[in-house]
Amino acid sequence: MAIQTKRVHFSESPAVYTYSPSSMPRTCTPSPTWSEDSLPDNDSGPSTPPSTASFARRTLLSAHDLAKERVILNPLLSDPRSQLTPIVWDVATPATDAMVRTGRKGKGKEVSALLPSDLASAATLPGMTSMDIHIAQLPPFWKPVQLRRDDSPRSSSSHFPSSRSSRPVIPITIGEVLNAVHSNMLLPVSEKEFAVFPKDLQKLTAKAFWKRHDIATHAGNMKEAAAIKKAGMLRVDVLAGNQQLVALVPASVNGEVWQLVLARP
């Protein structure tokens, strides 16, 4: 019996990527490498990436280093004991779908919904007005998830709210962090970006795309399936199933740069 090939669509181009589902690895953790020679050299493509060998190879800081500036995460984002987040959340879903571990035992008691007041609480203490969040599983030539207050432009000085300001500081909230990450996951993958992915990641991304499409099809939601096909591959597909929030860890001493750690559910 002939193996049916599938074509992956791009939102901005009629071009397609054809692959055979039978050749896809059933389980695989992508560990692609990147070189500057493999990247587009025109201005219309991705920004020039660092010459790192792995998505996840970024400098992280110890709690001792971070304590120098006394920036701490809201306990809902980072348990002080384990450094893992108590939040149970799939980045492919809106922030309102996030749950939180209760620490209680018993069926249905392990997690509960995050309250609106939880989502509205400051993500850090002191409250920050500027945050960059890197996602380890995504290519380094993509910009990080960036959160900025309109009245708090990025500058070379400290990004801690100033007590001398005549205006009240509105810190970035937990809900804004989650929503910004979720919105980033819904950005399309261009044909040019896809072309520089390592072959194994191309296959994993294509597989994740068609899995979303097939789930909608098998559920009888043909309208959603058509919308998925029309939109093409998204950044969430590049995660290849690593969509569960695990931790948010510091990557700068001033509390402005962070790295989001994801894993399979």
Residue 97 within a domain: yes
Domain assignment present for 22: no
Confidence at 60, pLDDT banded by 50, 70, 90: very low
Higher pLDDT, residue 62 or 228: 228
151 and 69 share one domain: yes
Encoded tokens for 240? 């290849």
Sign of CA dihedral 197, 216, 241, 135: positive
Same domain, 209 and 83: no
Residues 157-206: pLDDT tens digits? 344 444 445 567 789 999 999 999 999 999 999 999 999 999 999 999 99
Cα pseudo-dihedral 91, 97, 100, 106, rounded to 10: -120
Distance CA 230, CA 226 (A): 6
The letter for the amino acid at 3 is I
Q: Do the domain assignments include residue 45? A: no
Residues 110 and 183 in one domain: yes
Q: For residue 120, is it within any domain?
A: yes
- How many domains is the chain partitioned into structurally? 2
pLDDT band at 258 (very low <50, low <70, confident <90, very high): very high
Give CA separation, 253 vs 79, 124, 166, in Å: 19, 13, 26
Do 194 and 173 belong together in one domain?
no
Residue 183 and residue 194 in one domain: no
d(CA 186, CA 51): 26
48 inside domain: no
What would the mean pLDDT of 230-252 be, rounded to a whole number?
94
Record the pTM. 0.72
Same domain, 138 and 256: yes
Residue 227 belongs to domain spanning:
189-233
156 and 225 share a domain?
no
Residues 86-129: tens digit of each pLDDT:
999 999 999 999 999 987 665 656 889 999 999 999 999 989 99
- Residue 1 in any domain: the answer is no
The answer to whether residues 172 and 122 belong to one domain is yes
* Predicted confidence (pLDDT) per residue in 2-26, tens digit: 545 566 666 654 444 433 333 333 3
| Over residues 54-62, mean pLDDT | 39
Percent residues over pLDDT 90 in the chain: 53
Amino acid 105: pLDDT? 64
Same domain, 215 and 182: no
